[in-house]
Amino acid sequence: MILQIKKLRENAVLPLRATGGSVGYDLCAALEEPVTLNPGETKPVPTGLAMAIPEGYGGFLFARSGLAVKHGIAPANCVGVIDSDYRGEVLIGLHNHGNTPYTIQPGERVGQLVLLAAALLEVTECEALEETQRGAGGFGSTGR
């Protein structure tokens, strides 16, 4: 299977897996100049890429762990979702959860794309659901 990518900006970088065992493809900031994220601030960061994700799959945008743990920079919506029928530029809404400003450099790796199969089920309303041992137990219901 192939993931088709179209560069929309001259400085866009094709997604790359850092190692043979990497599941995520690093996405880079297609910026003309550095952009600073102040504490508590969110900004959309362009990747300069559009893609054709195969039907039945979704593209999921996750934080890069080093950027998130060391600097508090992570996607504002925790995980971004790219639908298979979206053909616009992939933007990553980054948020600064830290206490100091952080400057994103042009070409910096700012997120990772993971492609996952999506179960596309028919939705139907029903009067009752099958009972389970857990039942309606919610948050913390299986802990001590």
pLDDT, one tens digit for every residue, the chain (144 residues):
899 999 999 999 999 999 999 999 999 999 999 999 999 999 999 999 999 999 999 999 999 999 999 999 999 999 999 999 999 999 999 999 999 999 999 999 999 999 999 999 999 999 999 999 888 888 877 776
- pLDDT at residue number 100: 98
* CATH code that applies to domain 4-117: 2.70.40.10
What is the rounded CA–CA span in Å between residue 72 and residue 82? 23
What is the rounded CA–CA span in Å between residue 96 and residue 37? 6
- pLDDT at residue number 137: 82
Model-level pTM?
0.89
